[in-house]
């Protein structure tokens, strides 16, 4: 749950602009830090009433967007808070991205899978499919090997037939004892 409702933020901003109350007076009246009130006012000026709404959903940022934010921070003389405000981020997020980039480079900015990795890499069906696939590959290799042996045997047979027709049948020599 958020600490301050969007209605309260809108009421404080309305008083700031309509009654010309200062942030210090509003701080004392509502017991809210004037820096926080100043941030609300600044966000309201730049983004309108939508800036006062609570952010409920997590946003996912691409590595290119993160790199653009870091590049902007490094090339301009703005503070992290100003850069965060410009890109509608939290200052801590800009800080985290900068430190990750310094430590591990652009790879750290790319999205990574969340959660604990599963113990079984492939479900049983996929394992059977992979086993069948490897079995098929093994059988194909065995068939190719047998075909090569058969080809060699046929060549040898044809060579022997040809030599028989040219030189005639050879008689084994009798050994003398």
Positions of the chain with pLDDT lower than 50, given as ranges: 1
Cα atoms in the Cβ-side hemisphere of radius 13 Å centred on 22? 3
Per-residue model confidence (pLDDT) at position 1: 39
What's the pTM?
0.48
C-alpha distances in Å from residue 2, one per residue of 30, 52, 56, 113, 138: 16, 12, 10, 28, 62
The per-residue pLDDT for 32 is 85
Cα 85 from Cα 76, distance rounded (Å): 14
pLDDT of residue 129: 65
pLDDT at 24: 84
At 95 the pLDDT is: 92
Measured torsion, CA atoms of residues 130, 131, 132, 136, in degrees rounded to the nearest 10:
100
Model pLDDT for residues 149-168, shown as the tens digit of each residue: 999 999 899 888 888 888 87
With vertex at residue 48, the alpha carbon angle to CA 35 and CA 90, rounded to the nearest 5 degrees, is 50
* Cβ-based neighbours of 130, under 8 Å, separated by 6 or more: 122
């Amino acid at each position: 749950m958020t600490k301050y409702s969007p209605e309260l933020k809108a009421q404080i901003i309305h008083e700031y602009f309509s009654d010309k109350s200062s942030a210090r007076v509003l701080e004392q009246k509502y017991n809210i830090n004037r820096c926080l009130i100043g941030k609300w006012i600044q966000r309201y000026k730049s983004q309108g009433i939508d800036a006062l709404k609570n952010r409920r959903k997590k946003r996912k940022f691409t590595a290119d967007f993160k790199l653009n934010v870091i590049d902007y921070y490094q090339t301009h003389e703005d503070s992290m808070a100003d850069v965060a405000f410009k890109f509608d981020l939290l200052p801590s997020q800009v800080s985290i991205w900068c430190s990750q980039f310094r430590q591990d480079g652009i790879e750290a900015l790319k999205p990574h899978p969340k959660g604990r990795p599963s113990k079984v890499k492939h479900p049983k069906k996929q394992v059977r499919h992979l086993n069948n696939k490897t079995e098929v590959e093994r059988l194909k290799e065995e068939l190719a090997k047998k075909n090569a042996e058969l080809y060699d045997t046929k060549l040898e047979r044809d060579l022997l037939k040809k030599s028989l027709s040219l030189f005639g049948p050879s008689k084994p020599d009798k050994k003398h004892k």
